[in-house]
Chains A and B, each alone.
Chain A
Amino acid sequence: MKKLVKNEKLCTACGACQRICSQTYFKEDNKEKSAIGIKAEDSGTTIIACSQCGECIDLCPAEAIYRDQKGVVRIKNSICVGCFSCVGFCPEGAMFYHGDYTEPFKCTACGLCVKECPSGAITIQG
């Protein structure tokens, strides 16, 4: 199963991953539109990204979420009805949404952010 793996101890919260993610998928440099989240707190940095667990698949009333051949959980936007149930029930808090869009978005383990990350805090497995 292809997925993003994180090593939070190495994360410097520079935001490079979020920039490339939002630029690639939404043509905008806006961390609110990134499928990877960074929470920097005194106790340490948390990286929020989909673990491809698939909890959202059975939860979707439109059957718009599926697992592809590589094991990546994906959203079929054409039949998504934008209810955001998946956002509320994601165990990782890694299903994202933005008021500008009618569908949620998530990490598809594309790996673009991994190339941008200067500290090696994220890698792609599988």
Chain B
Amino acid sequence: MTVSKLKESHKLLAEYKYVPAKVDKGYTNKSLYVNLSGNKIKAKEVTAMMKEKFIGGRGFGLWYLWNAVTPQTKWNDPENEIIISPGPVAGITQYPGAGKSLVVTLSPNTQTVVDSNVGGYFGPLLKFSGWDALEVQGKAENDVVIFIDGSEGVVRVEEAPEEAVDSHLLAEQLTELYADCEEDKRNISVVSAGTAADNTMLGMLNFSFYDPRRKTVRLKQAGRGGIGTVLRDKKIKGIVVKFKGLKGNLNNPADFAKIVNTGVKLHKEINRLDDYQNRMRHNGTTFLAGIMNDYDLLPTCNFKFGSHPEGEKIAAPNWVKMFDAGKADGCWYGCTLACSKVVCGFELKTGPYKGQKVVVDGPEYETIAGVGSNCGIFDRDYILECNFYCDTYGIDTISFGTTTAFIMECYENGIINKEITGGLELNFGSKEAAMELLHQMARGEGFGKIAGLGIKRLKEIFVREYGADAGFLNDIGMEAKGLEYAEYVSKESLVQQAGFGLANKGPQHDEAWLIFMDMVNNQLPTFEDKAEALHYFPMFRTWLGLVGLCKLPWNDIVPESNKDTEEPAKIIEHVQNYVDLFNAVTGQNIDIDGMIRQSEGVYQFQRVFNLRMGFGTREYDKVPYRSMGPVTVEEYQSRQERYDGQLKELLGIDPEGKSTEEKIKLLRKYREEQYEKITDAVYERRGWTKNGVPKLETLQKFGMDFPELVELVKQHQ
């Protein structure tokens, strides 16, 4: 269908004209509210309180969502919202990694609040269109597109019956449809999901940007927490923003020269050092695959193992050969770390688009490990095909990978069989079956429909329907709080086990990735050290999501002088850069302590939000034993020397003459005790009770003593 035909089929449901607010020191001080039940559109004030306590980005999302829902609200109730907010620093073009959007909603996976961060142009263009945040509530009757035109000052809700749902088609169609000409396409960004988001709980959001050199729409993902499923439940096909006239000073910052100087300093550092460090400009994030395999951290066969003899096949050098690498591969202007790699002209072998040559964004490390090694698959073409289909179907590669790995282990253990899977032979390494499972998820058919519920619900079904041993499934099902694990083996790092387990939204590594500091460097010997790291790093990394920055330019490039600093892991020069950027944009005058304090308030708020939704206490911080140690004899024996050594050194137990089962039990007891101890230490450091609830004085300390929060935590003191 031609674009003009698509356009003709649109039916205007609501229109709202506005004069775009000028950005003042990083904020427009307005947010856009759209309710699809009844098609109401209005502007809201962003208050001084919001800016002071919630800063922006994830903070604004949490605040708006808190006010939109009640403790009874479910993810698919009309009251649930999707909030997208870029943060005050987002949209500067001078410092790498400054185009992030943060998305917040009630998650179908965790049943409570979730946040996910994403690149692409949407957040900055939304802000320059006059909005610090977009809040979408309600449900449409038929598929709609929300169109925000920041140059014309108009917002429309349009019924859009004819466009594709799958993102690689839809994002192209909508870009084409709303752009005036080829040159105008860069001014457009589309948020969309796909057909698997219609039929699974694992849906994600694609955020687009137009790549003028390759003349194609590129996609970045807000992957975690099933937000794409919420988008489609609201019958939103796409959210489109259009803004013309981008310049480097549209944030109207307090000190432009300071931003420029800080940016140029990092550009030069990357130019000088990236070739000798992670080679992000060449590898993207694929460099991690080989490294993780070398350090026994690459999830293999549902996190049983951390490396594989075939691991080399999916290491960076092999991907680099396939990339159509450019020198400007950023997902927002000015990102010279340029990790948004792409494979062009990839011919699909399966599915509805079989035989077509497509552009594949990525693969990222998490995708390689998730759909690849963790499923026992080391075939690059499979990984690319799976990456493409996950993206266009709007499904999170991490949740798809971890869920499929779990299913494969269940299949190999006879918990499920061919009859149950409808003929799919889902052994580790069965790439054809895994691909078909993905297509079934998109079609909402067969075993794919069940698999798309995610691990937490699958465990319940396998126990209820097929008499599986609940204990075993809880040990090997790599989810916590309902969210599937991100792709790192945490068995040998207690700090990382807790980093995953105590993360607010579930086991995603964007709060803390401390495996090397703990396991390899041995820099965190005491529980106090561990708790301190699990305080500082999550708070620091949360902050990036309040202001709209990417984590990668923090530590995927390291200045020469860093090795001589007191705490090299913090990369303090880059942290100071961030403080300088925040002050230069907003005109405020915070220091590093102030930065951590900003995060801490929002972090406490999010913890109480979990409590409000019926979670957020100690029992929800439990993790599957697979994330802590060897569950099976096979796992123990594969690293017997290591585990026997630990029994001897840490427990003073002679492993001689003991059966593997006995040794597993002894090791498990020790490790589970360690996890409880670190939980205590972290709760203490974060100002929480033994049950993981923020103490009243903690809320007061961070100015989060709103009456509703106080009332709530009082019941749990």
Minimum C-beta distance from A14 to chain B (A): 28
Interface string of A80-117 (1 = CB under 8 A from B): 11111101110000000111101100000000000000
Residue pair A83, B271 in contact (C-beta under 8 Å): no
B261 within 8 A of A: yes
Residue pair A82, B94 in contact (C-beta under 8 Å): yes
Interface string of B219-263 (1 = CB under 8 A from A): 000000000000000000000000000111100000011101101
Interface string of B196-232 (1 = CB under 8 A from A): 0000000000000000110000000000000000000
Q: Which of A63, A81, A100 contacts B248 (CB 8 A)?
A: A81
Q: Which of A48-94 contact B (CB under 8 A)?
A: 58-63, 80-85, 87-89
Residue pair A88, B328 in contact (C-beta under 8 Å): no
Q: Which of B333-380 contact A (CB under 8 A)?
A: 333-336
Count, A-B residue pairs, CB within 8 A: 74
Total residues of chain A contacting the partner, CB 8 A: 21
Residue pair A85, B267 in contact (C-beta under 8 Å): yes
Residue pair B247, A88 in contact (C-beta under 8 Å): no
Minimum C-beta distance from A62 to chain B (A): 7
Residue pair A99, B256 in contact (C-beta under 8 Å): yes
A102 to B186, CA, bound (A): 19
Residue pair A81, B328 in contact (C-beta under 8 Å): no
Contacts of A87 in B (CB 8 A): 264, 267-268
B330 within 8 A of A: yes
Contacts of B327 in A (CB 8 A): 58-59
A83 to B93, CA, bound (A): 5
Residue pair B267, A84 in contact (C-beta under 8 Å): yes
Contacts of B93 in A (CB 8 A): 81-83
Closest partner residue, chain A, to B263 (CB atom): A84
B270 within 8 A of A: yes
A99 to B249, CA, bound (A): 11
Residue pair A89, B271 in contact (C-beta under 8 Å): yes
Contacts of A88 in B (CB 8 A): 263-264, 266-268, 270-271, 336
A3 to B270, CA, bound (A): 28
A86 to B267, CA, bound (A): 9
B446 within 8 A of A: no
A30 to B171, CA, bound (A): 48
Residue pair A63, B212 in contact (C-beta under 8 Å): yes
Q: A58-B328, A59-B328 are in contact. Are A84 and B94 (CB under 8 A)?
A: yes
Q: Which of B260, B266, B330, B333 contacts A97 (CB 8 A)?
A: B260
A83 to B330, CA, bound (A): 12
Minimum C-beta distance from A89 to chain B (A): 5
B559 within 8 A of A: no
Q: A62-B333, A89-B336 are in contact. Are A81 and B246 (CB under 8 A)?
A: yes
Residue pair B267, A102 in contact (C-beta under 8 Å): no
Residue pair B94, A83 in contact (C-beta under 8 Å): yes
Contacts of B326 in A (CB 8 A): 58
Residue pair A84, B264 in contact (C-beta under 8 Å): yes
Minimum C-beta distance from A114 to chain B (A): 28
Contacts of B256 in A (CB 8 A): 99, 102
Contacts of B261 in A (CB 8 A): 99
Given contacts A61-B330, A102-B248, 6 further A-B contacts (CB under 8 A): A81-B93, A81-B334, A82-B248, A83-B248, A84-B263, A99-B256
**15 A-B residue contacts at CB 8 Å?**
A58-B326, A59-B327, A60-B328, A80-B248, A81-B93, A81-B334, A82-B93, A82-B247, A85-B336, A87-B267, A88-B263, A88-B264, A88-B270, A89-B271, A102-B256
5 pairs of A and B residues whose beta carbons are closest in the complex: A88-B267, A82-B248, A99-B257, A83-B334, A83-B93
